[in-house]
Amino acid sequence: MIIIAHRGNLDGPNPDKENHPDYIMTALKTGFDVEVDIWFVDNKFILGHDKPQYEVNERFLLNEKMWHHAKNIEAISILNRLKPNYSINCFFNDNDACTLTSGGYIWTYPGKNVLCKEAIAVMPERVPDWDISKAGGVCTDFPYKYKA
């Protein structure tokens, strides 16, 4: 099972650190994949959930264990252009039941019954009794809970 640390979280939500490059790197060093929220503004890549906060260079994003959640159309457009030359897994969604990532995974909205071996169950901790046994992975604020 693929285990993805949501915004770099390892032990629950931490809004003050989420998407910070150092926080992301800590989660990657533990061996987890990491979902990052990425914006492209004024020709710069910037991490942040509700707004752009932490500028990063393109090289920072070229980690095959990162899942890039594009927060604006400019970000998904630029990431899509980089895709042929790099192993970038990116997607753009809001409240859809699911969306297809550029890596061929099905990124699900919490609680939606669209799970299969290609699906990533997003935030299962928010949905009591959600049977994620068919999912190929999880994106969670509590990745250690799912580590075998």
- Structure pTM? 0.95
Using CA atoms, how far residue 75 sits from 93, 97, 113, 148, in Å, is 12, 21, 28, 34
What are the tokens at 124? 């299962």
Q: Across the chain, where does the E strand assignment appear? A: 2-6, 33-41, 44-47, 54-56, 66-70, 89-91, 98-100, 106-108, 119-122, 137-140
Q: Which pairing describes strands 2-6 and 137-140: parallel, antiparallel, or unpaired?
A: parallel
In this structure, which CATH number among 3.20.20.190, 3.40.50.720, 3.30.310.10, 1.10.472.10 belongs to the domain 2-146?
Answer: 3.20.20.190
Q: What is the pLDDT along the chain (148 residues), one digit of tens a residue?
A: 999 999 999 999 999 999 999 999 999 999 999 999 999 999 999 999 999 999 999 999 999 999 999 999 999 999 999 877 788 999 998 889 999 999 999 999 999 989 999 999 999 999 999 999 999 999 999 999 998 7
Beta partners for 47? 38, 54
